[in-house]
Amino acid sequence: MQIASAQLTYCTNIHPGESWEQVFENVRTHVLAVKARVAPERPFGVGLRLSAQAALSLRQPERLAEFQQFLAQHQLYVFTINGFPYGPFHGQPVKAAVYRPDWREHERSRYTSDLAWLLAQLLPEGQSGSISTVPGGFKADLAGPEHVSRIAQQLVEQALELHQLLERTGRCVTLALEPEPCCLLETTEETLAFFERELWSPRSLGWLSSQLGVSRSGAEQILRRHLGVCLDTCHAAIEFESADDTLDRLAGAGIGIHKIQLSTGLRLPEPSADSLEALSAYDEPVYLHQVVAQSRGGRLLRFSDLPEALRHREARAAAEWRVHFHVPLYRAELGAFGNTQAFLARVLERQRKSAVSAQLEVETYTWDVLPPDQRVGGVVASIARELDWVTARLAPATTAPTS
């Protein structure tokens, strides 16, 4: 949907499905059902999630043609792809494997190239598309500056491919690194440093200019056009960041926000023995649930998963916890917890006043592992309610809600 100078959709990674046949069935059923509720008479954008397996399958001409025909028939279009999870994402332990292969490895580049080619075939005429991706890699997997340099080089090479794709097809596809707790790009500060010291370094600019026979300023324009960030509002809020500071610093550095993933995480102000006990219901075996706890002195304590934090004595005495567990946007209170809705609401307020991104995507992929009381009504109704909640906050100021 077009709203507040942006395209708005939801990410289909909420629906289990690794093969192309499963993904297509999810579009036929769930996506059409959501469209019928929120945009019955209007074109509706699809935030597609494709595994490496599904992407290879969709590249087959007959399958791609069938999907293109289906999209046109039902007033659907694809403008963004979630290229973060390479392999299985539902129904089995994922945890830190979701970051692998990371950007040191050729498999990640090949996968992203497949997605970029597909997106160029699926984009409406005159529209740009985005692919969100792993923020370099998981910190625990990386060993020193040589790994960081390797990641940067592969990303610059990917930007070259995207530039060449634009020249061949006229379709602009951007790659959006998604900062996340415990990854190479975790905070806004780390993101700025990586772009400025690695992606836009003299080494990167020199390599790209020599490959294309353009000036260094021309090479920098290409990198800035094709490489940017996907701002996940849950991830940034978990890091105790300020929405205004994050948006202002990215804009000030000239880093494009190619997509905003609209999401909220768990928040525990003044954690108690009872609330921490209640939090154990969110300790499930599929996804990694990073925790950032703020001590009473203001120091941030970081944990790669919930069980580690629950066992930590200093964390249990902290002033506040924030947990990477995507929960429905519209629920400000979740029993013993709150959520990080305030960060998201401020981002949407900024978007309403002056667009900070052209692509917005609701992402509450944890539906299947949420406690039962948060899944009442079913997944389609919940997605539609989330999209309505966002739409209301992007409405003109005279009608926008105050809460």
User: What does residue 121 show for φ and ψ, rounded to 5 degrees?
Assistant: -75, -25
Cα 232 to Cα 49, 68, 130, 280, 359: the distances in Å are 16, 29, 14, 24, 12
Cα–Cα dist 222/277, whole Å:
50
Question: Per-residue pLDDT tens for 21-76?
Answer: 999 999 999 999 999 999 999 999 999 999 999 999 999 999 999 999 999 999 99
Q: Does residue 1 carry a pLDDT above 60?
A: yes
Cα–Cα dist 403/387, whole Å:
16
Closest to 158 in 3D by CA, of 99, 128, 116, 219: 116
Quote the percentage of the chain above a pLDDT of 90.
Answer: 93
**What rounded mean pLDDT belongs to the chain?**
96
Which amino acid belongs to residue 19? S
Q: Does residue 276 carry a pLDDT above 50?
A: yes
What pLDDT score does 398 carry? 55
What pLDDT score does 400 carry? 47
| C-beta separation of 94 from 138 below 8 A | no
Q: Where are the domains of the chain?
A: 2-264+340-393
Question: Per-residue pLDDT tens for 98-110?
Answer: 999 999 999 999 9
The size of the chain, in residues, is 403
**2-264+340-393 maps to CATH 3.40.190.10:** no
**Mean pLDDT across the stretch 293-309?**
97
Q: What share of the chain is helix, strand, coil (3-state, %, to 5)?
A: 50, 20, 35
Q: Who contacts 80 (Cβ-Cβ below 8 Å, separation ≥6)?
A: 7, 9, 45, 47, 48, 119, 129, 130, 131, 132, 259, 359, 361
Question: Per-residue pLDDT tens for 379-403?
Answer: 999 999 999 999 999 998 754 454 4
Quote the percentage of the chain above a pLDDT of 70.
Answer: 99
Q: pTM of the predicted model, to two decimals?
A: 0.96
Which amino acid belongs to residue 65? A
**Mean pLDDT across the stretch 209-214?**
98
Q: What pairing do the DSSP bridges indicate for beta strands 227-232 and 257-262?
A: parallel
Question: Per-residue pLDDT tens for 321-346?
Answer: 999 999 999 988 888 899 999 999 99
